[in-house]
Amino acid sequence: MMKVHEQTRLHGWIAQLRERGHIASKQRIVIMEALFQQREIADMEDFWIGLRQKHPVSWATFYNFIRLALKENWIGKDIHTSRCARYQILID
C-alpha cells in the first residue's frame, strides 16, 4: 500500500502524462503504479511478467509505455552491459 505522499507524487505523474498530451489509460496507470512502487527494475521482462500475473497488460502496451517514460525522462536507464540494463524511476 502506498503512503499518502507517494500517492500524491503518483497523481502528479499521471497529471504530467495528461498535460503532455498522452492518454492516461487504465493499463498505463497500472504500469505507472507498479513502477512507482518498485522504484528500480533490474529486468523489465521479469517485471512485466510479474505485473501481467495481476493485471491484463500486454507486452506491447508495457513496452510502448516504457519507451514513452524514457523519452519523457520519467524513468532512467543505466546500461551495465550490452544485454543488461537497470531502470530507475526519476519522477518525484
pLDDT of residue 41: 85
Residue type at 4? V
Give the start-to-end residue ranges of the domains of the chain: 4-89
pLDDT of residue 64: 93
Count CA atoms within 13 Å of residue 11 on its CB side. 7
Pick the CATH number of 4-89 from 3.60.15.10, 1.10.10.10, 3.40.50.150, 3.20.20.70: 1.10.10.10
Give the contacts of 92 (CB within 8 A, at least 6 positions apart): 9
Could you tell me if 77 and 87 are in contact, meaning their C-beta atoms sit under 8 angstroms apart?
Answer: yes
Model-level pTM?
0.79
pLDDT at 43: 85
- pLDDT tens digits, 18-65: 999 999 999 999 998 898 888 788 888 899 999 999 999 999 999 999
3-class secondary structure, 57: coil
pLDDT of residue 81: 56
Report which of 59, 58, 67, 57 is spatially closest to residue 33, judged by C-alpha positions.
57
Per-residue model confidence (pLDDT) at position 25:
92
